Structure 1
C-alpha cells in the first residue's frame, strides 16, 4: 500500500498507521455561504410582539467550519466582503459575546465573501495553531508534531505560483502541517 493511503483512517486504538499519531490531530474544513434573509419567523400563535432578526441584512458571508478526526469542532471563521472594519459583524450584534467566547474569528475575503489566501493564513494562525498547541500539550507530543490537514480542491488552497500563495506559505511557515487534498467530486 503506498505511503499515506490510509492517512485519514485511525485504527482501533485511535492511532494512525505508520505514524502513531493521535486521532485528534488530523483536521478538515468545509465552507458554505450564508445569506441572512426571510420575512417569516416562528412564534406562538397570538403573540403580541415577534422579533425578526436579520430582516434588513443583505450581506452574504462564508462560514468556515473545521473539525478534528476525534469529532471536535474548532471555532468558526466567518469571511465577509469589503475591506473596512464596518463590513464585519458589529460587536453590538445579537450573539456577539457568545461567538467571542467560543473563539469565532471574523475576517475579510478579497473583494467578496469568499476565502482568500489572507483569510486562509489567518485561519491557520488563529484557529488551527492554537488547537494544535492544545492537542500537543494534552497528548504530550512535541510542539511541532505533524498534523494532517484535509482540504478540498479549491483554487485558494491549491495555488502555488507565488511564495505568498497559501501552499508555499504553509510549507515555509508550518512545515509540520501536511496538506492532503480530497479530489473534486468525491462524496
Structure 2
C-alpha cells in the first residue's frame, strides 16, 4: 500500500498537517482504509505456546551455580565468555495476523506457513561484542549461496560473515557448519581477546549454547575436546531458551525487527519500480523467487548486525539481573531473569508483532530502559488502541535512505 500511494500521490508524504506532521502509511491508516472500503478487520492466527519445565526455577538455579563455579575456578573474564543462538530467518516473513473480511471463519495468513528460510547463528560476548554472523543456506553447492554481486556482499565478508551451504535439502546447522563456526569465528575471537587482554596462553573460555542434538552430540563434544580443549561448553537447559539464552532473550527482538524492516524496504522499492514502468497497481507481483530473496538476505543481515552491534545493548542483555527465592536472608542474583510469572506459555518477545509499528531505535530504547527481561519483553503500546478515533494518524518512521532510493529514476 505504501508503494502504491507513493506512486500515485507522492506529495502526500512531504506535506505537513496542522500539527506539523507528514503523512505516513501507518497501521492505523491501513486499518481505517480497509475497514471502510472492504469491511476488513485484523484477524489473528493462533499457535501453540512454549512450556517451561515444572521445576524451572530449580533448573535455572543449578545452571547458574555451575556457570559461576566455572568462572570462579577457571578465572574467566567477560571477554572470554560467549553465548550463541541459532535462529530461523524466513525469506517471506508474515505476521501472526492479516486483514480479512469481518466475521470470516477461515483466515489464511500469508507467510504463516512459509517454509523457505535459512539459519542464522548469532553470538555475543559478555564484554559487549557481537561476533560475525554465520548464515546457513539449504543446498549442496556454492550455487546455493547469495551471489557475490549481491548488494552488501563485500561488506559482509569484510565483517567476517560466514556464508555456508548445508550440503543437504535443509538449512539446519550440522556437524560441519558448527565446526566451521568454532574454527573460523569463535576460536579466532577468543585468541584475539586473550592477546588483547594479555591473558595467559592457557586461558580457558566458555561457549554457551542450546542443548540441541548436534551441540550435545558425542561427535561434536569429542571434536571440541580434541581441537579446542581450552573452550568449555556450557548448555542452556532444555525448554529454557527464552529464560537463560542471552542471545535469544533480547537480541532476537531487535535483530528480527531490523531484518523485517529491511525486507519491507525491498518490497516497497520493487513495487514502486513496477508502478513506474506502467504496471497497474492490481497487477503488481513481487519477486518471491528463492535466488532473489537469497541475494537480498545479505542486506537484511547487515541491517540486523548494525542494529545489535552496540556494546550497551549486548551488555544489558548479558548482565540483566533478577532475584531468585533465596534460602535464608538476602537474594541471589542471576545473569538472566529466571522467575516465571503468570502464564508459563507466554509468547517470547521475538514474536511481538506490534514492534513492526515502530523503529528499531524505539524498540531498542524500550529494551535499554527495562529493569528486567520480563519488562523488556512487553510490547510497545499499540497505536491502534492508544489513539482515540478523532486523533491524527499515528506516524511510523520511513528511512531517509529509502526515500532517496525510491526517488531515484528507474533505468
Q: Which residue of 2 aligns with 1:150?
A: 208
| Contact 1:110-1:116 within 8 A present in 2 as well | no
The CA deviation at 1:159 is 1.1
Deviation at 1:21, TM superposition (A): 2.1
Find the counterpart in structure 2 of residue 74 from structure 1: 131
The structural deviation recorded for 1:70 is: 1.2
Alpha-carbon separation, structure 2, partners of 1:151 and 1:60:
21
Q: Which residue of 2 aligns with 1:43?
A: none
State the alpha-carbon separation in 2 of the partners of residues 6 and 159 from structure 1: 20
List aligned pairs for 1:100-179, cutoff 5 A: 100-111=157-168, 112-160=170-218, 165-179=219-233
CA distance in 1, matches of 2:136, 2:93: 21
Q: CA deviation at 1:5?
A: 2.1
Instruction: Give per-residue Cα distances to partners, 1:143-174, cap 9 Å, x unaligned.
Output: 341111111110110111xxxx2111001111
Structure 2: any 5+ residue segments left out of the alignment? 1-61, 95-114, 244-411
Q: Deviations over 1:67-100 (max 9, x none)?
A: 0111210000001111111101111111101111
Task: Mark the structure with the bigger radius of gyration.
Answer: 2
Residue 22 of structure 1 and its aligned partner are, at CA, apart by 1.3
Distance verdict in 2 for CA 1:6–1:153, change over 3 Å = closer
Structure 1 consecutive aligned stretches of length 4 or more whose deviation exceeds 3 Å: none
User: What is the alpha-carbon root mean square deviation over aligned residues?
Assistant: 2.6
Given the superposition, is the C-alpha separation of residues 33 and 9 from structure 1 closer, same or farther in structure 2, using an over 3 Å criterion? farther
Distance 1:78 1:9, change over 3 A: farther
User: Residues of 2 paired with 1:22 and 1:146: CA distance?
Assistant: 9
Normalised TM-score (structure 2) = 0.36
Paired residues of 1:147 and 1:177 also in contact (CA < 8 A)? yes
Taking the aligned partners of 1:116 and 1:170, their CA distance within structure 2 comes to: 14
Deviation for aligned residue 1:19: 3.1
Q: CA deviation at 1:20?
A: 2.7
Aligned residue for 1:5? Answer: 65
How far off its partner does 1:109 sit? 2.0
- Distance in 2 (CA, whole Å) between partners of 1:69 and 1:103 is 20
Q: Kindly indicate whether the alpha-carbon contact (under 8 Å) linking 2:141 and 2:167 is maintained by their aligned counterparts in 1.
A: no
**C-alpha distance in structure 2 between counterparts of 1:91 and 1:155, whole Å:** 33
- Provide the rounded CA distance (Å) in 2 between the counterparts of 1:144 and 1:110: 35
Residue in 2 that maps onto 1:95? 152
- How many pairs align? 160
Q: Which runs of 5+ in 1 are unaligned?
A: 11-15, 40-57
Q: How many angstroms does 1:7 deviate by? A: 2.5
> 2:74 and 2:237 mapped to 1: Cα distance?
23
Cα deviation 1:101-144 (Å, max 9, x = unaligned)? 11100112241100000000000010011101110101111234
Offset from partner CA, 1:18-47 (integer Å, 9 cap, x none): 3332111011101111122269xxxxxxxx
Q: CA deviation at 1:183?
A: 0.7
How far apart, in 2, do the equivalents of 1:81 and 1:144 lie?
38
Partner residue in 1 for 2:234: 180
Alignment of 1:56-75 (within 5 A): 59-75=116-132
Q: Which has the higher strand share?
A: 1
1:84 corresponds to 2:146:
no
Tell me which protein shows more helix as a share of its residues.
2
Q: Is 1:8–1:26's contact at 8 Å kept on the other side of the alignment?
A: no
